[in-house]
Structure 1
Amino acid sequence: MEQRVIWGHGDSAGAEHLTLKKLSGHMEVRGTVLLVEQGVPHHLTYDMKLGLDWKTKKIKIYQEGVPEPFIVQAEKQDKWWVNGSYNENLDGATNIDLTITPFTNTLPINRVSWKTGESRTFKMVYIDVLRREVLPLLQVYTYLGDNEGQRIFQYRCREFETALVVNEQGWVVEYPGVFNLHALYTTKGHDLKDHTSSLSAHASAMDRSYF
C-alpha cells in the first residue's frame, strides 16, 4: 500500500508532499518540503525508514545548497547515531520529531492504542532541520476524544501546547496555525507498482536511493 499526502503551511508560504510506502517488513517515507523562514526560501527532502511499529530506524535529510545529507539512525535498544557519531543523550528515545513536518506527530500517535483522557509521555529525538541541531525532548500527548469522526490530541512540548486534529489513520488534519491537510490519497495494486517505478526513476535521476 502507498499513501500520498499534501499539507499546506498555515503561518507562511510553503507546502509538503509526502509519500509513504508500506512494504512487507518496514515502511519508507519520502517528504519534499518548500518553506520560507525569515524571508529565505528553502527546498528540503527527507527519506525515512520506519518499522511496521512506527519506530524510526533511519532518516536522511537533504537541503538545497548543502552537499551532504544529515543522517540520524537508530540501532538496537533505542540508541542513536548522528552523522555516524553515537549520541548518548538520545538513549531511550523512540522516535524523531522534525521541525518541518506534521508527519512526525503521527509516529507516537500510531505507536500505541489510546483511550479517551489518556496521556503518554514520549522521549523524542528533536531535529531542527535548518540548523542541523539534534537534542532529546519530552513530549506529552493526551487523547481528548473524537469530534465528527476526527480524533483530538492535546500536544505539549516544553512551554508550547496545542490541540491536534488527527484522522483515524493517524494523519494530522490540522495543526492550528502551522499545518493543514489538503489531500490524502491511497493507492494499491497496479497503481502502487506504477508509482513505485516512477519514484525509483526519480531517485536514480537524483543519484541517490532511499537507503
Structure 2
Amino acid sequence: MKQIAVWENKKSTGSEFLEVKSSEDNSIAKSSIISIENDTPLKIEYKIELTNWFTKNVKIDLLNLGKSLYLESNQNHQWFDEHGNEITELSGAIDIDISCSPFTNSLPINRVDWRLNKPQSFLMVYIKVPELTLKKVEQVYTLIKEEKDYQMFDYRSSSFQSTIQVDKDGLVIEYPKLFKRKY
C-alpha cells in the first residue's frame, strides 16, 4: 500500500511531500521538506523505517546545510547513533517527533486502540530542526472526537497544547497554526 500526503507549513513558509509504503507490519516513510526556519532556507529529507508503527530507525538530512542525523531503536526502547553508540538519555522513549513534520504525530496515533476521552502518554525523542538536537519528552494524546472519516485528538506536552485532526489512516489533516494537509 502506498500513501501520499502534502502539507503546508502555516508557521513559516514551506511545504512537505510525504510518501509511505507499507507491507504487512513494516512501513517506510520518505519525505522532502522545503522550509524557512529562523530566516534560514532549508531543504530537508527524512526516512523512517517502522514496524507496527514503532520506529526502527530514522535518517534526517539537511541537504543545504550539510548536516544529518541517524538514530536507531531496538525493542527495549534503547536508542543508538550512526556508530552504534547508545544514547542513554533517550532510553525508554518509544517514538520520534520531528519538529518540522506533522507525520510523526501519526506514529502513536496509529499504534494505539483509542477510546474516547482516555489520555495516552508517550515518551518521545523530540528532534528539533534545524539544530538536530535530541530531547526525551512526554506527550499526551486524547481522542476527543471520532467520525467516519476523521478523528480529533487533544495533544499536550510540557510546553505546548493543540488539537490535531487526522484522517481514517491516522495522517494529519490539520494541526492548527502549524500544518494543513493539501493532498
TM bin, normalised by shorter chain, reads over 0.9
CA distance in 2, matches of 1:25, 1:144: 27
Q: Normalising by the residue count of structure 1, what TM-score does the alignment of the two structures yield?
A: 0.82
CA distance in 2, matches of 1:60, 1:162: 27
Tell me the number of residue pairs that the alignment of Structure 1 and Structure 2 aligns: 182
Any idea what SS the aligned residue of 1:69 has? Answer: strand
- Report the structure, 1 or 2, having the larger helix content: 1
Show structure 2 runs of 5+ residues with no match: none
Can you list the C-alpha shifts for 1:156-179, whole angstroms capped at 9, x where unaligned?
Answer: 011210111111110110000100
Q: Is the contact between residue 42 and residue 65 of structure 2 (CA under 8 Å) also seen in structure 1? A: no
Can you list the C-alpha shifts for 1:118-161, whole angstroms capped at 9, x where unaligned?
Answer: 10000001111210101100000011022574211000011210
Opposite residue 81 of structure 1, the aligned amino acid is F
Any idea what SS the aligned residue of 1:86 has? Answer: coil
Q: RMSD over aligned Cα, in angstroms?
A: 1.4
Show structure 1 runs of 5+ residues with no match: 184-211
Offset, 1:39: 1.9
Mean alpha-carbon deviation: is it higher for 100-109 or for 79-88? Answer: 79-88
If you compute each CA radius of gyration, which structure gives the higher value, 1 or 2? 1
Equivalent residue, structure 1, for 2:166: 166
CA distance in 1, matches of 2:153, 2:86: 33
CA distance in 1, matches of 2:11, 2:78: 35
Percent identity over paired residues: 30
Equivalent residue, structure 1, for 2:181: 181
Opposite residue 65 of structure 1, the aligned amino acid is N
Any idea what SS the aligned residue of 2:76 has? Answer: helix
- Report the structure, 1 or 2, having the larger strand content: 2
The 1:37/1:69 distance shift into structure 2, 3 A limit, reads closer
Any idea what SS the aligned residue of 1:31 has? Answer: strand
- How is 1:14-53 mapped onto 2 (pairs within 5 angstroms)? 14-51=14-51, 53=52
RCO higher in 1 or 2 (8 Å CA, sep ≥ 6)?
A: 1
Equivalent residue, structure 2, for 1:82: 81
Equivalent residue, structure 2, for 1:11: 11
The 1:29/1:149 distance shift into structure 2, 3 A limit, reads closer
